[in-house]
Structure 1
């Protein structure tokens, strides 16, 4: 194949599989890894794909920050199903932490408290959803308001969390990468999420399928800290990875 034919082949494989690896392309096209990497560089410079570690993808793997009012309209059906399934894990007289994010708001909408429920949260929209329940005690963390996520963050919120220990943390993320772990678009929020993990017995990640294969600026934690992951769909390689780490996966 000449250059143009290789480029067309690479784009075709990427559109079929979502992600292509350098090693597979070398084998299929009988060329060196140097040639394939130059091809991928050319295609990325042309705006036709995005290079990743060991390969490339047509989907931008880097998540950027967007306003919560914009994100809540994206994948809303999937987020609603995830929130409904996650709400079933809340037990009678439970004490839980709910982090920020649009999927957390969908979770809050689905909560029907059994007995008395205590909720510690950084998210203002979560508090607004739960305030209608008289048997839900809401502990709203304080701190600096992050407008894009409609939540608080900072040292004051982190220090407050040291006074609590809850049975479960429900955590939303912006990216899930097999090498980088789970991430969010803001470093301060990532730090607060880590404090939440320390304050919870069980960590439950809620993420729609668009989050897989992506990474954001602020790393929250490695996969080993996660107990359960709930999604509408999980790529096979991630299911195998989570199984090897003892992470329970729930597909809804």
Structure 2
């Protein structure tokens, strides 16, 4: 049997999925042990046991000064910023994308403009946002929204344009207005694509969030990582990085579940 036709069973799938994680863990443990053998005070690659101890301290021990568990405060603050930014971007991308995909006037007036906006590096406008909006929450949320909105608009517009013209013509024949066509014909078909697009945009959204928090913030996951880096606290940094990765994975799984739950006919991944 050709290799391209061989499909693993469930046990093999689980083993193959776990293999890269086990390999990375073994490589890290070996590198950490080698560095600590040369220098017991090495802080660049802390031992796995030290990382676990740090994780327990961060998750459960309150701060001596404030009495709060800073880990969970950072998580809540970052998730709030991320949720607002992605939510605003998704709504904007959906509305403008539908307009560009359905209305020739909107396509003529906005398509080129959105294309140019998508070429601007979002991090390059971060100083401008801080100058215009201050160092508060608005600038951080705006960076996330600005960073991913052009991509969502273009993806929504492209998916809307793929709707068979026959459906638009039939809806008009039955007396549907432009708004009714957008809500009753186009919207149900682009919503699954919107969820998939948001899943793809989560990576850049996290990047913009951490960058904004690192530059100007008093709480947040990115803020904490860049705060402790000056002390070479790699055990804390690795815990936060692992937690961000886990959060991103869980949010992605949640969106995938929502797509399968509400749009099973469109879910292929």
Which structure features the higher share of strand residues? 1
TM-score (norm 1): 0.24
TM-score (norm 2): 0.23
Q: Which has the larger radius of gyration?
A: 2
Which structure features the higher share of helix residues? 2
Higher relative contact order (CA 8 A, sep 6+): 2
